[in-house]
Structure 1
Amino acid sequence: MSTETAAQAPVRFDTKIAVLLRDDLETWQRLNVTAFLVSGIGSELPEVIGEPYADADDTPYLPMFRQPVLVFEGGKETLKAAHERALRRALPRSVFTSDLFSTGNDRDNRAAVRAVPTEDLDVVGIAVYGPRNAVDKVLKGARMHP
């Protein structure tokens, strides 16, 4: 394969970054939860971050994920099951609970999650990263976000 052909070939990833949102969230909540969740993945897993960007004038921009982030949705039970599967598989994950809509800073967010046992968390969103097939199994029953 020539260098030019290789550069044009689609990039396939063995891993997947996915966000699963509860389907009863308001639009602003979906956006807010997604932003918070993916920040956890990027901060703890430097291998998912690509190189910095620059435009034609050499104006620099921050690096972003090196691969797509897929967003899914599901009902409350789908979220609960996905959360349990992500824990069982020990996949890197971030969590957003309904309690976090009433807090206003990181300290209070962490305290709100800390106050609730794992099985009682009212999960409205999770982000997971790992091998594609493992992430697919965690997301079983979810559907792509419209």
Structure 2
Amino acid sequence: MSDTPKKCAIVVAEHLPNGLAVNAASVLSVTLGAKVDDLVGNDVKDADGVTHPGVIYTPLPVLTHSADGVSQILTTASDDEELFFATFSALAQSCKTYDEYIERMSAVPTSDVEVVGIALFGPKRKVNKLVGSLPLLR
């Protein structure tokens, strides 16, 4: 990882009920952990010598934005090679199994995918520019 300060953020569509917003954020955070190298720190030991699994080394705010705003963030992130992003769709959220998700997604053109959440990772200044003014999910 470069010396440039990095930042993560998750943005979910503000129209989602809290349960679906938390679901979208949790799915996106797992994806970030799986796709971004060295995002999770090493295991640590407490004073009693008990080992605790490593956690993300940087804050991970969960923010909200309008559905159009989430789409605008996606468009901007898509055009920037320094930003990693992952999306979560309403279609994915409605599926009961991963096989169902694969099958249903294969029939939907990209332009018709309703993105309800996006995870970002990249240079701190670029992530801040995209999400710095957004409110936290409450």
Q: TM-score range by the shorter chain?
A: 0.7 to 0.9
Matched, 1:16 2:4: no
Aligned to 2:26: 35
* TM-score using structure 2 length: 0.83
Residues 74-114 of structure 1 show CA distances to partners (whole Å, capped at 9, x for unaligned) of: 11110110111111113211111111222123343344444
Paired residues, number: 134
Contact 1:38–1:127 (Cα < 8 Å) also in 2: yes
Contact 1:74–1:141 (Cα < 8 Å) also in 2: no
- Relative distance call for 1:137 and 1:108 in structure 2 (3 A) is farther
* TM-score using structure 1 length: 0.79
Which sits farther off after the overlay, 32-41 or 103-112?
103-112
Aligned to 2:122: 130
Residues 49-77 of structure 1 show CA distances to partners (whole Å, capped at 9, x for unaligned) of: 11113333322222111111012101111
Aligned to 1:49: 40
Aligned to 1:59: 50
- Relative distance call for 1:85 and 1:110 in structure 2 (3 A) is farther
Q: How many angstroms does 1:115 deviate by? A: 3.6
- Classify the secondary structure of the residue corresponding to 2:38: helix
Q: Distance in 2 between matches of 1:99 and 1:54?
A: 41
Q: Distance in 2 between matches of 1:53 and 1:108?
A: 38
1:71-110 counterparts in 2 under 5 A?
71-90=62-81, 91-110=83-102
Q: Distance in 2 between matches of 1:64 and 1:104?
A: 28
% same residue: 22
- Relative distance call for 1:65 and 1:109 in structure 2 (3 A) is farther
Structure 2 residue aligned with 1:120, among 104, 112, 127? 112
Of Structure 1 and Structure 2, the greater helix share is in: 1
- Relative distance call for 1:105 and 1:63 in structure 2 (3 A) is farther
Matched letter for residue 42 of structure 1: G
- Relative distance call for 1:118 and 1:68 in structure 2 (3 A) is same
Structure 1 segments unaligned to the other structure (5+ residues): 1-12
Larger Rg: 1
Q: How many angstroms does 1:141 deviate by? A: 6.4
